[in-house]
Chains A and B, each alone.
Chain A
Amino acid sequence: MSILVIAEHDNAEIKGATLNTIAAAKAIGDDIHLLVAGANCAAASEAAAKIEGVSKVLVADNAAYEHQLAENVAKLVADLGKDYSHILAPATTTGKNMLPRAAALLDVQPISDIIAVEAADTFKRPIYAGNVIATVQSSDTIKVVTVRATAFDPVAAEGGSAAVESVTIVEDAGVSTFVGEELAASDRPELTSARVIVSGGRGMQSGENFEMLYKLADKLGAAVGASRAAVDAGFVPNDMQVGQTGKIVAPDLYIAVGISGAIQHLAGMKDSKVIVAINKDEEAPIFSVADYGLVDDLFKVIPEFETKL
């Protein structure tokens, strides 16, 4: 029983969610191979070989894989995946985009966003915005699974010494081309791996007012997130959205500011270790999941909070 894990990377570095996905793979079996598909991705491959628990790194280094186009990478994964009992990828936008496509090529019904491994063929996953946890058993020969990173503690990025093998298969479907990318540049930690998150909602009233949260976040070494309402209103960009249809986070500390606590938002943050809610409405549902609630005007509280740290 060998497991193929698809690495998430930017050709230079391996992204953190890969380490959580390998942890899920270890709960299934111990012959774990890691695929690095990219272009000029030698640096990422070297880093991959050092990850704890990986026995082999497969490197597909070709222009066709540079931007992780789903059409090309899915074919490669389906070609290679035939020889494995399991194929795993992080449930990031990259993994969710590519892996179901690979599964369909293998005639497999994939299992999305698992939060626990019960047995080699049985997994737990949240449905209905996390209001229900389903235990699902697969009867497919190959199990194709995406992994919710926050549910598994990452393996160590160092300490391993996997063999590196290059893969020469080139799959270029020729139906899609990369045009461009606008990536948010920020010196703050990434939302999905931050230890502390300060999140703002509609109560912030404007993009300018988010400056208060950035200042607070910088004192705390925190990332900044947002509710859908704040993103829809144009206060902040889409990559900051936390929730059922945004990012799933589980930091040590989540501070929700001017967020009411709709189930779709809770779905993305309620597994945080400690939750703080700051809201002027004492009836706001966010208080039902908050460890510490402060009922007050955020415009008064946030500047004071920042100076008292």
Chain B
Amino acid sequence: MKVLVAVKRVVDYNVKVRPKADGSDVDTANVKMSINPFCEIAVEEAVRLKEKGVVSEIVAVSMGPKQCQEQIRTALALGADRGILVETDAELQPLAVAKCLKAIVEKEEPQLVILGKQSIDGDNNQTGQMLGALTGMGQGTFASEVTVEGEKVKVTREIDGGLQTLELKLPAIVTTDLRLNEPRYASLPNIMKAKKKPLDTTTPDELGVDIAPRTKTLKVEPPAERKAGVKVESVDELVDKLKNEAKVI
């Protein structure tokens, strides 16, 4: 069966971003960009399913500017077979991303679509669920275990109270949580091979998708800073401070 994996280009998780001085946007000039960590886990899961013989083809999709090709190449180096870039320089909101993905799902007819549960820039945690609504597919979000069994997929989900297991009819959507797997590193030969794998480009227009934003960011600002505290020398002093100064115990 075919798997579609969504990979997003984001500011690397080691970078501490700051708002621009005028508060209009986040300053992302010259910062390191990477594949969203959750999307890397999504690619890894697809590759493992392929290695188990469950999956025959992995298609990696990204939406955004031309540079997203880098993240698609990363996915190809990790084991995806071909890539699709939906190219646009416009800001994409999750609803628009989900609509583009739906158009691609209709063309490619994958049995499984794997996305990250959230991206570490927007932190929205929406796209997979919205794609589920638009395609009518069942969704296994925040997955920590995925098993394909015939016409069904069993998904164990990380929920607030612990773990929940669902069974979904295929085709279905899975969004990855951190403990689903530990992604491999791409080897140099695989990075070289990835350069030759097919990568098609399309646009939201060609897919017939209206990507007009529905929300507007009025301003961005740094969060309230905490005041630096004090170091205590002993447990006695700590207990005393908590009791008599902070009055929290």
Contact = CB atoms under 8 A, between A and B. Distances in A.
A108 B123 contact: no
Nearest to B225: A289
Given A135-B220, A253-B242, A176 B167 contact: yes
Interface of A: 67, 69-71, 74, 92-94, 96-105, 107-113, 122, 126-140, 173-184, 192, 196, 220, 228, 231-232, 237-239, 244-245, 247, 252-253, 263-264, 270, 273-276, 282, 287-295, 301, 304-305, 308-309
Contacts of A263: 16
A157 B82 CA distance: 54
Interface string B96-128: 001000000000000000000110111111110
A5 B168 CA distance: 27
A69 B123 contact: no
B248 to A, nearest CB: 4
Given A128-B120, A196-B249, A238-B162, A179 B154 contact: yes
A292 B139 contact: no
Interface in B197-230: 213-223, 226, 228-230
A129 B120 contact: yes
A179 B165 contact: yes
23 contacts: A103-B126, A109-B93, A109-B95, A112-B123, A122-B218, A126-B123, A128-B11, A132-B18, A137-B215, A140-B215, A176-B138, A177-B166, A177-B167, A179-B166, A180-B165, A181-B162, A182-B162, A183-B161, A237-B162, A238-B179, A287-B231, A292-B231, A294-B235
B19 interface: yes
A178 B17 contact: no
B26 interface: yes
B169 interface: yes
A174 B68 CA distance: 36
Contact of A276 (B214, B220, B238): B238
- The 3 residue pairs across chains A and B that have the minimum distance between CB atoms: A104-B133, A109-B214, A175-B138
B19 A132 contact: yes
Nearest to A130: B223
Given A69-B166, A103-B130, A131 B141 contact: no
Contacts of A238: 144, 158, 162-163, 177, 179
A290 B229 contact: yes
A135 B218 contact: yes
Given A138-B214, A176-B138, A133 B232 contact: no
B215 A139 contact: yes
Given A293-B232, A294-B232, A308-B239, A97 B161 contact: no
A136 B163 contact: no
Nearest to B140: A176
Contacts of B241: 292
Nearest to A306: B235
A134 B221 CA distance: 7
B166 A293 contact: no
B169 A176 contact: yes
A282 to B, nearest CB: 8
A73 to B, nearest CB: 12
A135 B23 CA distance: 10
A171 to B, nearest CB: 12
Most chain B beta carbons < 10 A, residue from A97, A138, A173, A288: A97
B125 A112 contact: yes
Given A127-B121, A253-B242, A293 B159 contact: no
Given A138-B215, A244-B123, 11 more contacts: A70-B129, A104-B95, A107-B95, A128-B26, A137-B216, A175-B137, A176-B166, A180-B165, A245-B118, A273-B248, A304-B235
Contact of B123 (A103, A113, A122): A113
A291 to B, nearest CB: 4
Contact of A239 (B11, B160, B235): B160
A175 B123 contact: no
A62 to B, nearest CB: 18
A102 B13 CA distance: 30
B131 to A, nearest CB: 8
A101 B129 contact: yes
Contact of B248 (A130, A131, A196, A244): A196
A174 B125 CA distance: 24
| Most B Cβ at <10 Å: residue of A69, A109, A173, A264 | A109
A111 B242 contact: no
Most chain B CB atoms below 10 A, which of A101, A111, A122, A295: A101
A295 B231 contact: yes
Contacts of B139: 70-71, 97, 101, 176
A262 B221 CA distance: 21
A189 B159 CA distance: 17
